[in-house]
Amino acid sequence: MKVLVVGSGGREHALAWKLSKSSLVSEIFVAPGNGGTEIEESIQNIAIDSNDIEGLSNFAKKSGIDLTVVGPEDPLVNGITDKFQDEGLLCFGPSKDAARLEGSKEFMKDFLLRNKIPTASYKTFTDSKKAINYIEEQGCPIVIKADGLAAGKGVTVAFDINQAKEAVNQSLNSKVFGDAGTKIVVEEYLEGEEASFIVLTDGNKVIPFASSQDHKARDNGDLGPNTGGMGAYSPAPVVTDSVHKKILDEVIYPTIEGLNSEGSSYCGFLYAGVMVDQNQNIKVLEFNCRFGDPETQPIMMRLKSDLAELCFKACKKELSNEELQWDARKSLGVVMASGGYPFDYEKGNIIEGITEELEDLKVFHAGTIYEEGSVKSNGGRVLCVTTLGESVFLAQKKAYDAISKIKWKDSFYRNDIGYRAIEREKN
Ligand code: AMP
Ligand code: GLY
């Protein structure tokens, strides 16, 4: 089977790496890929942008691609799956309609409400005065979210009224998110611990992946500005067996049923970001219509089942009640980023000391490029050093040992990835 992976991040490197291990896969292409996928022997990069849906479908037709797996949200929200289907091509990822779960916060919140799925209370606004009145009534902390896709930058957790007003004005008046921010959702602040719960579904059967937790803030202690994610680990101890069951029963199954009853069947990865409170009640923070980045990297490291077979079967609506096989060890990935990220940063710096792949260690690339025999930085999040260990503590130690040998100008990383799980292990 010839497989195409769409995207260029750490997630896509990890997906392509995992897919390439399937005995069903004869060739694997990544469009456009990164320096890491370029130097993988079994993977070939194709210079087509992940948003060039026409270009991608032409390539898939011309090259006889049997299965396409889409990494990022933008092409999904813009209808890549619908286009591929029109062309008779198998594409694993939700339709444009179903991808609105990620593409519009308003759609997502209204959907949750309609389907009685637990989430924070909220109101939607296009008028800044009305939004600020509502915020003054509700008080802080409060959360302001741009409705559309804003590359992970559209959410402000405001702890005082000035910060809240600033967020409203930035989005509705200064239009810093463009069209994505002409509408905002103002939402109740939730306390608790977050977890990422990702499933694979054909719109009928649901196969949950192991749980995970990412660290979205830039700095140690989960402080500083939000990023795409500075590290992740799997499983997440906050997702106990009973929480796991609750997420399936209260969130995942009703979501799939709700989508079906509203006429948009969902085939693809579905990612629920949930808040788990002290009493183990859960509420949905967000949906993503794709795998998480960097959650993919530790999860793929632990997954023993054949991902290509699962995605192919899902596209054919042939999933049965399969149970995934997992490496019993814990996995942890630490993101190394370019100085300045999530704001401005330099590109083109030569990266040295990348560790060779071992059974329990893999450096997944994100913003890298392979040029003139060197791997160079080419983005904000650059590498994700991912390990397996008997405990999160041991996996973390292995990751930081490898990181201590990797260098480029102004690189940085958090040195506390997995700290919540490690605290629990100590107890
Ligand atoms: P989202 O893109 O909706 O997941 O928001 C990004 C991040 O903002 C989440 O991972 C949370 O850390 C935080 N966040 C979002 N919504 C809330 C909320 N209602 N209460 C507390 N924190 C939130
Ligand atoms: N790591 C969070 C996300 O992929 O959205």
Residues in contact with 217: Cβ distance below 8 Å, sequence separation at least 6, in sequence order: 223, 224, 225, 226, 227, 230
How far does residue 102's CA lie from ligand 2's centre (Å)? 11
How far does residue 293's CA lie from ligand 2's centre (Å)? 5
Is the CB–ligand 1 distance for residue 140 below 6 Å?
no
Please name which ligand lies nearest the alpha carbon of 217.
1
Residue nearest to atom 4 of ligand 1 (CA): 286
Question: pLDDT tens digits for the chain (427 residues)?
Answer: 999 999 999 999 999 999 999 999 999 999 999 999 999 999 999 999 999 999 999 999 999 999 999 999 999 999 999 999 999 999 999 999 999 999 999 999 999 999 999 999 999 999 999 999 999 999 999 999 999 999 878 999 999 999 999 999 999 999 999 999 999 999 999 999 999 999 999 999 999 999 999 999 999 999 998 899 999 999 999 999 999 999 999 999 999 999 999 999 899 999 999 999 999 999 999 999 999 999 999 999 999 999 999 999 999 999 998 899 999 999 999 999 999 999 999 999 999 999 899 999 999 999 999 999 999 999 999 999 999 999 999 999 999 999 999 999 999 999 999 999 999 999 8
Please name which ligand lies nearest the alpha carbon of 189.
1
How far does residue 229's CA lie from ligand 2's centre (Å)? 6
Pocket of ligand 2 (CB under 6 A): 214, 229, 288, 292-293, 295
The CA-based dihedral angle spanning residues 14, 19, 23, 29, taken in that order and rounded to the nearest 10 degrees: -110
Ligand 1 binding pocket mutation candidate from 122, 144, 157, 288 (most atoms within 8 A of CB): 157
Residues in contact with 328: Cβ distance below 8 Å, sequence separation at least 6, in sequence order: none
Interatomic CA distance for residues 11 and 5, integer angstroms: 10
